[in-house]
Every structure is written in C-alpha cells, then in structure tokens.
A and B are shown apart, each in its own frame.
Chain A
Amino acid sequence: AQTVTQSQPEMSVQEAETVTLSCTYDTSESDYYLFWYKQPPSRQMILVIRQEAYKQQNATENRFSVNFQKAAKSFSLKISDSQLGDAAMYFCAYRSDRTGTASKLTFGTGTRLQVTL
C-alpha cells in the first residue's frame, strides 16, 4: 500500500520570502500522479499543483513549483514570494495510474503554513 509522509506539522514564513514544504511517499508503482492541495480556513480543498511521475520536468504554477525526485520518492513544494493568502493547511497526495486502484487519493497528514508580516 502506498503511504505519504509530511514530516513538518507546522511551518512559518515571512511575507515575500520563500518556503519549501516536504513530502515523501512510498510506492512500488512506476506510474502515478502527485498533488499538492491547499486547505484555507474556509476548508475548501484547492488543487495547487500536480506532477505526473513519467515527466522528468518539475511542474510549476506561477509562484508554486515542485522538486520531484522520483528515485528518492520525494515531492516538495516551493512557494515563492509568499503572500498572506498562502496561509493554509497543505496536503501532499498520491494517486495511482492503475485502473481499479486509480480512484484513491492517499494523503499525507498535512503541513500548516503560517505567513507573517
């Protein structure tokens, strides 16, 4: 079974600075997807960024980028130029590319990000 580990329960960053959230996962599969979801106080789950395992190039979405290290099974999220609106709980998630098990998203336990002035 796949597992996702987020070892940082809480992180803090100053506005306009850069912060990196860590995520590692365990799988025996070669094809899969990785995601970062943001959950603000409104509790809505918002997709921040996704990465296909077969792609070597790291995904980027504006101020958000990932460092995907497939061999190390690591998938960290970098937030540049942090803004107050980035304060939220961030979840790392894994999804298999195999039909049948493909419906399941496996989540980490989350990292709460605080943004200070």
Chain B
Amino acid sequence: EAQVTQNPRYLITVTGKKLTVTCSQNMNHEYMSWYRQDPGLGLRQIYYSMNVEVTDKGDVPEGYKVSRKEKRNFPLILESPSPNQTSLYFCASSLWAEGSLGGYTFGSGTRLTVV
C-alpha cells in the first residue's frame, strides 16, 4: 500500500530534551515536506526536500532540523524543544512529474506536547 508513515503518533516530552519524529514513504517520491498545524493558522511548512541531500527552509523553520540521506526517509529533529513547538505535525510527500497532478500524500500526523 502506498503510504507515508510517521512515528510516533503521540509524544509528550519535556523542554530541552532532543527528539526525532520519523517519516518514511514507499512511493519513490522526490519531494518531502514537514508541516505543523495550529488552531486558526492552518498548516505551515517547516522544511522541505526536493531530493536526497537537498533540503530547504519553509515558513517556520526556527527550532527544527531535517535530513534527507535516503530518498524514502525525512526525519524531523527538535534539538531543544520548547512549549511553543507543541503542535500537530504532518509529513507529506509528492511525485512531481508531468501528469502527477501535484497532490501530496500525508502521513497520519504526530501530536507533540512539550511541557
């Protein structure tokens, strides 16, 4: 089954304790991206990657890191989480080619709470 797998689905952590949210896709997509969803703000892009070893900042990158060592994986790293990073996080991937119609496939989301 074609999918984007995100783990964990729920995470409660303390301020300053490094964490990683994993994301993996099995569709051979070039594009991968991380979004955070907050009430009243919709989804905002954190980082994106156009291919292996190619990453760039989105609209809200402060406090986050990413890596793209393999095409299928795109982990999100919070080196020193703070309470303002409490949010719902989504990983998404996309094939960008003629006829692909440009849609994203989303993971199931990670609810992160930083106390």
Which chain A residues have a beta carbon within 8 Å of chain B's beta carbons? 4, 6, 9, 33, 35, 43-45, 47, 50, 52, 91, 95, 97, 99-100, 102-110
Total contacts A to B, CB within 8 angstroms?
A: 61
Given contacts A91-B43, A105-B45, A110-B42, 6 further A-B contacts (CB under 8 A): A43-B109, A44-B109, A45-B106, A45-B109, A103-B49, A103-B50
Contact of B43 among A6, A44, A47, A107 (CB under 8 A): A107
A109 to B42, CA, bound (A): 4
* Chain B 36-87 residues near chain A, CB threshold 8 A: 40-45, 48-50, 58
In whole Å, how far is B58's beta carbon from the nearest beta carbon of chain A? 7
Grouping DSSP codes into helix (H, G, I), strand (E, B) and loop, the B interface class, with mixed when no group exceeds half, is strand
In whole Å, how far is B16's beta carbon from the nearest beta carbon of chain A? 27
Q: Is the CB of A103 within 8 A of B101?
A: no
In whole Å, how far is B93's beta carbon from the nearest beta carbon of chain A? 10
Grouping DSSP codes into helix (H, G, I), strand (E, B) and loop, the A interface class, with mixed when no group exceeds half, is loop
* Interface magnitude class on chain B: 20 to 34
Contact of A50 among B88, B103, B106, B109 (CB under 8 A): B103
Q: Is the CB of B92 within 8 A of A105?
A: yes
Known contacts being A47-B103, A97-B102, is A103 close to B94, with CB within 8 Å?
A: yes
Q: Is the CB of B104 within 8 A of A105?
A: yes
Instruction: Tell me, yes or no, whether B108 is within 8 Å of chain A by CB.
Output: yes
A107 to B92, CA, bound (A): 14
Q: Is the CB of A95 within 8 A of B48?
A: no
Q: Is the CB of B33 within 8 A of A104?
A: yes
A76 to B58, CA, bound (A): 26
Q: Is the CB of B42 within 8 A of A91?
A: yes
Q: Please name the residue on chain B nearest to A39 by beta carbon.
A: B37
Q: Is the CB of B42 within 8 A of A50?
A: no
